[in-house]
Amino acid sequence: MIKYTPKIGARYFKWTLYKNATSYKSGINYKNSSHEAYYADGESSSQTITVPLSSGDDNQKYTCDVIAGNSFGESDPYTAPEITVPENGDPSTPWAITDLQATSDANSIYLNWTAPYDTDKSGVQAPCKEYNIRVSTEAIVDIPQNPFSASYTNPNQTTNWSNAKSVESFFSEVPAIPAPTTFEIKQSLQITPPTTNETYYFSIKAKDSDKWSYISNVAGVSIGSPEIAISPIVATSELKPYIFIKNTTLGINTFSVPFKTITAEGTSKEIVYLSDLITEINNKAGENIVQTLGWWDPLNMKHAGYEIVYGTGLNTISEYKKTTTAVPPTETLIIKDMPYQISVTKNVTFEVKGIR
């Protein structure tokens, strides 16, 4: 938008908008943006030029040539100060990648995924600009953006995405990470691992012009036979508390267990399966408060979910009603640092101890 106020005595103004100084000097009229405004004698008022712009005009420079005229003739042209159109932002956020897979052989680790969907600032489908692939010897967790309530906070939610290392800095031999391609195109990366026998967890984010996607699913792969962690049971004062909250907005608590072997507070019984965890939480509450349980199923590469149907009495579970294809909680081992989601009907603090 360009605005001019004529001096008293001018009958009219003429102005022409030019794109770039080079276009102005060569006399090329940009978008036929020539305008005239007429005034009565002695009138002084403001006139405005509004020029519609497109995404191709971002960062372009414009000049305006102005001539004043009256009954005696026209003035020499006046070139107004140059104007630069700012960069328009990209309102979209790339979709999260959900099919990251990790496999290995004797020499390498292979990552495979599908390029995510994204749009540019004009709303047209376009590939992202870059990937951030990270690795850790613990499952990678990041805090999701809650779509329902900006004020919602989850006391059990942990994140170690920021502590996980990029694959380029972690491994000795990593080729250049591929640039994102068009949505639904398969992409891959081959990594030569170190000699250390270990389980490695991978996750990936995609970025468009200025926004990162949410974390992808976590894909793990084992090289050789990892050493078993040997450490003492943590002291009672170092128990890991989990505060499960009945939340009327979401009803979902996200948590992860940081131990390979865990026991509940005040007991010596080992908690091995997800069903054991449900039982102990209900015991702590004194009633059946666990309603649903969900987690990422690495075997089938999809989310797993179960609704728990109770009979009469504490922990009399009559049915695990599945919402996705996955083995039931009675057969699902608790995995260290794996993110889980649980919904409850009553607030309760549950504590565990274990071997890290």
Task: Work out the pLDDT band at 29, boundaries 50, 70, 90.
Answer: very low
Q: State the average pLDDT for the chain.
A: 75
What integer is the mean pLDDT of 153-166? 74
Across the strands, what pairs with 243? 349
* DSSP letter string, 12-78: EEEEEEEESHHHHHTTPPSTT-EEEEE--TT----EEE-----GGGTT-EEEEEEEEEETTEEPPPE
- Please give the residue that has the higher pLDDT: either 183 or 295: 183
Looking at residue 33, its pLDDT comes to 62
- Please give the residue that has the higher pLDDT: either 295 or 331: 331
* Residue 143 pLDDT exceeds 70: no
Could you give the CA distance from residue 276 to residue 208 in angstroms, rounded to a whole number? 43
Question: CATH number of the domain at 2-84, out of 1.10.155, 2.60.40, 3.30.980, 3.20.20?
Answer: 2.60.40
Between 7-21, 196-210, 339-353, the lowest mean confidence (pLDDT) is in 7-21
pLDDT in tens, 265-324: 777 788 889 999 899 889 888 999 888 888 776 666 567 788 889 998 999 988 888 866
Torsions phi, psi for 159 (to 5 deg): -140, 135
pLDDT in tens, 108-139: 889 999 999 998 877 888 999 999 999 988 77
* Residue 150 pLDDT exceeds 60: no
pLDDT in tens, 57-75: 777 777 777 777 776 777 7
Kindly indicate whether the domain formed by 101-223 is annotated with CATH number 3.30.365.10.
no
What integer is the mean pLDDT of 197-202? 83
In the chain, which residues fall in CATH 2.60.40.10?
Answer: 101-223
